[in-house]
Amino acid sequence: MLFEELGLSAELLRAIKKQGYHEATPIQQQAIPLILEGKDVLAGAQTGTGKTAGFTLPLLRRLQASGSVGDIPRVLILTPTRELAAQVSESVRDYGRYLPFRSTTIFGGVSINPQKTKLRKGVDIIVATPGRLLDHMQQKTVDLSAVEILVLDEADRMLDMGFIRDMRKIFKVLPDERQTLLFSATFSDEIRKLSAELLDSPEEIHVTPKNTTAERVTQIVYPVDKSRKRELLSHQIGEGNWRQVLVFTRTKHGANRLSEQLSRDGIHSSAIHGNKSQGARTKALAAFKAGKVRVLVATDIAARGLDIEKLPHVVNYELPNVPEDYVHRIGRTARAGLDGHAISLVCVDELKLLRDIEKLLKTKITQTIIPGYEVDPRIKPEPIRNGRSSRPSGGNGRKRNSLGGGKKNYGGGSKRRSGSGKRSSGSQQHGR
């Protein structure tokens, strides 16, 4: 289906053409008409499917149809990481280049003062991570009382990273009458609960089977002793002449250490994680994309929001504690119809994690033993200390909170009536 068939304006079609696109992806074909109709949407789509344009284009069209430019935000887009916020903001700028609307990006790791200045000048669209947006709310530098459209991008990741309490506080100050769009790569029970609280009779969209991996990704497991992982990784990079490799570790310290070890092996490497400043993360990513850095070592904060064109290799140096994160990690490769390779270095400690991943995928991942790196059967498994509760905080320095303390109410006590576009009279009215 061509974009011309989706009810978009001439200005948006002109911007789409400038980006070099002509045909809409499946998620765009399904989401754009529903969003243009003002319906709430619950969408399941993996990264690399074009979902960002799937909500950016219609929300810009809806703003355009209202015929006014405001001084306070009318659209709020929440993302789990700085990188994803920056990527979404770039999409808003690219597709809105011929429209008068102003947007800004709000996330931690950088000075808050330039963000305050932009907010004072007035914006129509805010793209933000929850923690830094809450900082602005507490300092009364942002007014969310006129938000007409709320977008939760990678909502499952935001819950995994412990943002639910911050999100709740944000939801409480939003108008009760609004359009809400929830995009998630996976549909956990928590996502279903969140959807039930926030969305009003949503239209549900699925463009890929639940928790599937990209069809063009070749997955392979290399069994190896933990003490020899770095040696094997350096060997494979050199032997295969891999020129661009994204490597995932479980911890920030582990990412730093591996990057330093690879550099000592003569493989130019950098690390990105939540303790790095935004400037350092941006610089490292730019150097990796430009081919100046051969290996980028990252924690799961980089599993989503990194848009690296033609990335050929993803390596799980350590398997993730949460099986769904495996899907997100390897989703960095084989994008836009290209082939990709996902390699996992698995020691005896991680065999249960591997079984959990295979159970999620409903398939066995091919295992290959590299000669000279055979596993020592005398080594006994040891517990993996880094659990889900100690995952990265999304770069805003906040610790992970439990998922709502056992409560099911994600929306501050309010839920809209089915089909009415309004929430119950018992909900609090903020900023009206």
Categorize the per-residue pLDDT at 304 as very low, low, confident or very high, splitting at 50, 70 and 90. low
Q: Which run of H or of E encompasses 190?
A: helix 189-198
In this predicted model, which residue has the larger pLDDT, 123 or 339? 123
Categorize the per-residue pLDDT at 329 as very low, low, confident or very high, splitting at 50, 70 and 90. confident
- Does the structure show a pLDDT above 80 at 214? no
Least confident of 44-53, 93-102, 221-230, 314-323: 44-53
- Does the structure show a pLDDT above 80 at 346? yes
**What are the structure tokens assigned to 301, written together?**
């904060």
pLDDT of residue 185: 78
Categorize the per-residue pLDDT at 206 as very low, low, confident or very high, splitting at 50, 70 and 90. confident
Categorize the per-residue pLDDT at 215 as very low, low, confident or very high, splitting at 50, 70 and 90. low
Tens of pLDDT along 11-41? 999 999 998 888 998 999 999 999 999 999 9
Are the beta carbons of 218 and 286 closer than 8 angstroms? no
> Could you give the angle at which helices 130-138 and 164-172 cross, rounded to 10 degrees?
50
**HSE-up of residue 383 (Cα within 13 Å, Cβ side):** 3
Q: What is the mean pLDDT of the chain?
A: 84
Are the beta carbons of 288 and 308 closer than 8 angstroms? yes
Tens of pLDDT along 362-408? 899 999 999 999 999 999 999 987 544 344 333 343 433 333 333 33
Least confident of 178-192, 272-286, 322-336: 322-336
DSSP 43-99: EE--TTSSHHHHHHHHHHHHHHHHT---SS-SEEEE-SSHHHHHHHHHHHHHHTTTS
Categorize the per-residue pLDDT at 211 as very low, low, confident or very high, splitting at 50, 70 and 90. low
- Does the structure show a pLDDT above 60 at 286? yes
Sorted by where each starts, the structural domains of the chain and their CATH numbers stand as: 3-210+402-406 (3.40.50.300), 217-390 (3.40.50.300)
What's the Rg (C-alpha) of the chain?
22
pLDDT of residue 432: 29
Cα 392 to chain centroid distance, Å, stands at 13
pLDDT of residue 12: 97
pLDDT of residue 98: 96
Could you tell me what percent of the chain has a pLDDT over 90? 59
Tens of pLDDT along 160-177? 778 899 999 999 999 999
Phi, psi dihedrals of residue 269, rounded to the nearest 5°: -135, 155
pLDDT of residue 213: 55
The pLDDT of 68-79, averaged and rounded, is: 88
DSSP 323-367: HHHHHHHHTTSS-TT--EEEEEEE-GGGHHHHHHHHHHHTSPPPB
Categorize the per-residue pLDDT at 141 as very low, low, confident or very high, splitting at 50, 70 and 90. very high
The pLDDT of 81-93, averaged and rounded, is: 91
Are the beta carbons of 100 and 69 closer than 8 angstroms? yes
Categorize the per-residue pLDDT at 335 as very low, low, confident or very high, splitting at 50, 70 and 90. low
Give how far Cα 6 sits from Cα of 13, 36, 331, Å.
10, 9, 27
pLDDT of residue 117: 96
pTM of the model: 0.67
Separation of alpha carbons 2 and 7, rounded Å? 10
pLDDT of residue 386: 55
pLDDT of residue 334: 62
pLDDT of residue 333: 78
pLDDT of residue 389: 38
